[in-house]
Amino acid sequence: MANIPFVPSKETEQVEMLPGIHRRTMAFTERTMLCQFFLERDSAIPPHSHPNDQVGYVVFGKVELMIGEETRICGPSDSYAIPGGVVHSARPKKDTLLIESFAPARDDYRKNP
């Protein structure tokens, strides 16, 4: 996907990153990136960290998020912020849709495998 100002959803590919974890990379610049994640109930994103700041919003569903030493259940309209380098994980309690922004843009998400 090229770095262009408009990205119609039909031009983005959904990628299964882990079993039950689906990512769609949307618009991005060198400094920021927008992604959509669909998490199937009972899937999991294991604890990990990356240098990118990550800010997210729950569109629908319910997800248990661990950020650093704190764990919370987040539902529709809840948002969260994860500073770069902080260990975090996610366990959806039901099918969940998240919208997340990364800064700087993640090189590993620029192209779908």
Q: What is the CA radius of gyration of the chain?
A: 13
Residue at 87 is within a domain: yes
Q: Residue 44 domain-assigned?
A: yes
Q: Is residue 37 one of the residues assigned to a domain?
A: yes
Q: Is residue 45 part of a domain?
A: yes
Q: What is the CATH number of the domain that holds 50?
A: 2.60.120.10
Three-state secondary structure call for residue 107? helix
5 in a domain, yes or no?
no
Look at residue 113 in the predicted model and tell me its pLDDT. Answer: 45
- The number of residues in the chain equals 113
> Does 56 reside within a domain?
yes
pLDDT tier at 83, thresholds 50, 70, 90: very high
* Enclosing domain of residue 87: 15-109
pLDDT in tens, 26-74: 999 989 999 999 999 999 999 999 999 999 999 999 999 999 999 999 9
Say how far apart CA 85 and CA 3 lie, in whole Å: 26
Domain count along the chain: 1
Structural domain includes residue 1: no
In a domain, 6, yes or no: no
